[in-house]
Chain A
Amino acid sequence: MRKHPEHFRPIEYIIFSLATLAVMCLCVCVGSVSIPLSETVRVIWGALSGQAQTSGLTNSIILSVRLPRVFCVALSGSALSLAGAAMQGLLKNPLADGSTLGVSSGASLGAVLAIAFGVTIPGLPFSGTMFMAILFAFLSLLVILGLAYKLDYSLSTNTIILIGVIYSMFMSSLMSIVITFASDKIQSITFWTMGSLQNSSYKNAAILLAAFLLCGGMLFFHARELNAFAVGEDNARHVGVDVRRTKLTVLIMVSILIGVCVSVGGTISFVGLVTPHMVRMIVGPNHRRLLPASAFGGAVFLLLADLAARILLNPRELPIGVVTSLVGAVVFVFIFYQTRKG
């Protein structure tokens, strides 16, 4: 077996960062209107140095449309992938992810309720949807894991997936009921169910970045505990991990990450499932390496998925959630087949 270093080395950070940056550049340049790389760099450099031209189509496309979108897509991909990797470690279950567990569906219901009934937090008009998405993501995790523990203490893959599927269906039917009562907001609600980062803004990117730094940082901080959980929960307790505190912390961080992503871009499936799988094959299962690599991998995966969503049926645009599900399902079957084959 190939021996992996214990940490993610500085050279690996540099390589992964450059790869992510290259894909980000590609996503800014390519679209319904293709912009040369030199022009893109000139516009971004101009904006950074305070010499931006306020007019011009290229300027508007890059600075007002593509750049905020690329930031949001990259950060959503990183956050979802990180959440998936953390959940897979915590539950010692390679199929655990926000979408398979039904957490994303729960978060979507929270967001939909906020839209339908106009739930807001005084002084923070945008945060009502986000708060509800995070709250429902966390409550969903508690309900799903509570049910799974009751049925099967070992939290086996089959039990978790089965409960996740049932829970997702239950959430979908609740969403249908909400839509029935709020037919005037059906268009906004559909957005959450399909996933799209079309209307991303710098404000959204800033919120995603804050959530990523806070929750991602906390997850990195718990990398060794996640390693112990990935070997086994009992083993984690035996080697001295505060099992209850670690579990609660990781679940809260994961809920915030998924909740914020859902409130910004709707339900985007499979990123948290497929990316950590692929990354684990390259860097190994140690979470000190897996978590940073998953963050980069998730960004690249979602950026490419978003690019495909934009250009495949140009001038029409596919919802990003549809693309990740299509690609993710195929890649996942391939990985699963390869793993079984040995």
Chain B
Amino acid sequence: MLEVKELTVNYGSCTVVDRMSFHVSEGQWLMIVGPNGAGKSTVLSAVTQGVAYTGTVSLLGQDVKRISAAQRAREVGVLAQNHFVGYEFTVEEVVRLGRYAYSSKLFSGRKDEDEQAVEKALELTGMEALRDQSVLKLSGGELQRTFLAQVFAQNPKLLLLDEPTNHLDLVYQKQVFELIAQWVKQPGRAVVSVVHDLSLAKAFGSDALLMSRGGLVAEGSVDEVLRPEHLDPVYDMDVCAWMREMLSQWDDKEKEMAICQIPE
């Protein structure tokens, strides 16, 4: 579905991504992990033509540089981590923009398939009740679900997520990831997401790609990549020990809670 070969991105004299190659097949959920500044988000930007690069990025066998912006949008949807909307658009207006790539005529009337896609996206994300609400008055989680609905309305085959739950509380994190897990189960779809939370990567990803300083360190299934021998040198710490220590906090707390709740 997506094939990246020898991808290199330079910002001035600084090489941000260095000769990266990987591919994504149907049904895969590829988690791109790595420390800050590893070049993870830049890889996604290259796929959507947001940065200049050398190498090739092919989508369903076609070089993305050679396809139109509208065709690219029909194949690839992007969910960013931050959204700063300029004006008081309603939730429905923002979601409806997801159908831009499917309309060809000026002031063309609403098509049934556009209507259905928008309604379905609003329903899937639970934003129906807020459809007439200004996006400037939404909470962070509602805003993220609005843009997720826009991506769903876009009906792409490949979904790119750039730290989609970075600023969301646990409830919304769970909601967004479960929605995407349902979405990728449909045939002909795949997801590539940049995440910092390695537990989320392990829980939801099928494959992983570990990056460091613009380069590829390891790739393969999530279980193969997220191993101490790969993670520890990249993060310069004992990652598994840290994760276990964090989780053990919950074990202790649960025990304490259990003791407190013992009936007399």
B52-79 CB contacts (< 8 Å) to partner A: 68-74, 77-78
Number of A-B contacts (CB under 8 A): 86
In the complex, A93 Cα to B85 Cα: how many Å? Answer: 10
In the complex, whether A239 has a CB less than 8 A from a CB of chain B is yes
**Stretch of B99-107, B210-218, B242-250 at the chain-chain interface:** B99-107
Bound Cα distance A106, B85 (Å): 30
Closest-CB distance, A178 to chain B (whole angstroms): 37
A226-251 vs B, CB cutoff 8 Å, 1 = contact: the mask equals: 01101110110111111100000000
A232-B89 in contact (CB<8A)? no
B86, A240: Cβ atoms under 8 Å?
no
B78 shortest CB reach to chain A, Å: 4
- Answer yes or no: A31 CB below 8 A from chain B CBs: no
B90 lies within 8 A of A1 (CB): yes
Residue from the list B50, B100, B154 in contact with A234, Cβ < 8 A = B50
Q: Evaluate contact between B50 and A285: CB separation under 8 angstroms.
A: no
User: Which listed residue (B84, B137, B154) contacts A239, Cβ 8 A?
Assistant: B154
Nearest Cβ on chain B to A3's Cβ, whole angstroms: 5
In the bound complex, what is the Cα–Cα distance between A228 and B48 (angstroms)?
Answer: 16
Residue of A nearest to B153 (CB): A239
Please state if B87 and A94 are interface contacts (CB–CB under 8 Å).
yes
User: Roughly how many angstroms separate A89 CA and B154 CA in the complex, as a whole number?
Assistant: 22
* Contact between B73 and A280, CB atoms less than 8 A apart: no
* B48 and A237 within 8 A (CB): yes
A240 touches B69 (CB 8 A): yes
Q: Are A240 and B83 in contact (CB under 8 A)?
A: no
Report the separation of the CA atoms of residues A280 and B87 in the bound assembly, to the nearest whole angstrom.
9
Is B36's beta carbon under 8 Å from chain A?
A: no
Q: Would you give the 0/1 interface string for A74-96, flagging 1 where the beta carbon is closer than 8 Å to chain B?
A: 00000000000000010011100
CB distance from B232 to the nearest CB of A (A): 34
A232 and B54 CA atoms in complex are apart in Å by 26
Q: Do residues B132 and A1 form an inter-chain contact, with CB atoms below 8 A?
A: yes
A185 at interface by CB-CB < 8 Å: no
Query: A232–B85 contact, CB under 8 A?
Result: yes
CB neighbours of A240 from chain B (8 A)? 68-74, 100-101
State in angstroms the CA–CA spacing of A93 and B84 once bound together: 11
Answer whether residue A336 sits at the interface, using C-beta atoms and an 8 A cutoff.
no
Residue of B nearest to A8 (CB): B107
- Complex: how many Å from CA A237 to CA B83? 14
Q: Is there contact, CB below 8 Å, between A239 and B87?
A: no
Which parts of B129-145 form the interface with A (CB within 8 Å)? 132-134, 137
B77 contacts across to A, CB distance below 8 A: 238
Tell me how many residues of B have a C-beta within 8 Å of chain A: 38
**In the complex, which range does the number of interface residues on chain A fall in?**
20 to 34
Q: Does B224 contact A (CB under 8 A)?
A: no
A1 touches B134 (CB 8 A): yes
Q: CB distance A242 to B69 under 8 Å?
A: yes
Q: Which residues of A contact B134 (CB under 8 A)?
A: 1
How close is B161's CB to chain A, nearest CB, in angstroms? 12
A-side contacts of B106, CB under 8 Å: 221
* Chain A residue with Cβ nearest B84: A232
Does any Cβ of A come within 8 Å of B165's Cβ?
no
CB <8 Å contact, A231 and B86: yes
Neighbouring B residues of A231 by C-beta, 8 Å:
85-86, 89, 94, 97
Q: What residues on B are CB-neighbors of A284 within 8 Å?
A: 88
Q: How far is the CA of A285 from the CA of B182 in the complex (A)?
A: 34
B88 near A239 with CB under 8 A, answer: no
Inter-chain contact B88/A228, CB cutoff 8 Å: no
Task: Give the residue of A221, A234, A239, A285 whose beta carbon is less than 8 angstroms from that of B98.
Answer: A239
Most buried by B among A94, A230, A239, A286: A239
Q: A1-B134, A242-B68 are in contact. Are A227 and B97 (CB under 8 A)?
A: yes
Please name the residue on chain B nearest to A229 by beta carbon.
B86
Known contacts A1-B88, A7-B107, A94-B86; is A238 also within 8 Å of B78 by CB?
A: yes
CB distance from A213 to the nearest CB of B (A): 15
B133 closest partner in A (C-beta):
A1
Contact of B97 among A89, A234, A235, A280 (CB under 8 A): A235
User: Are B86 and A232 touching (Cβ within 8 A)?
Assistant: yes
Q: Which residues of B contact A89 (CB under 8 A)?
A: 86
The interface residues of chain A lying within 8 Å CB-to-CB of B119 are none
Residue B128 interfacial (CB < 8 Å) = no
**Given the complex of chains A and B, what is the CA–CA distance between A239 and B69 in angstroms?**
8
Q: Residue of A at shortest CB range from B80? A: A234
Decide if B150 is an interface residue (CB 8 Å cutoff). Answer: yes
Q: Mark A1-34, 1 if CB is under 8 A from B, else 0.
A: 1010011000000000000000000000000000
Residue pairs across A and B with Cβ atoms less than 8 A apart, 15 shown, are A1-B90, A1-B134, A93-B86, A227-B97, A228-B100, A230-B86, A231-B89, A232-B84, A235-B147, A238-B48, A238-B77, A239-B97, A239-B100, A239-B101, A285-B88
Chain A positions within 8 Å of B, measured between CB atoms, are 1, 3, 6-7, 89, 92-94, 221, 224, 227-228, 230-232, 234-235, 237-243, 280, 284-286, 288
With A1-B134, A227-B97 given, name 13 new contacts (CB 8 A): A6-B110, A92-B86, A231-B86, A232-B85, A234-B78, A239-B97, A239-B98, A239-B150, A239-B154, A240-B68, A240-B69, A240-B71, A242-B70
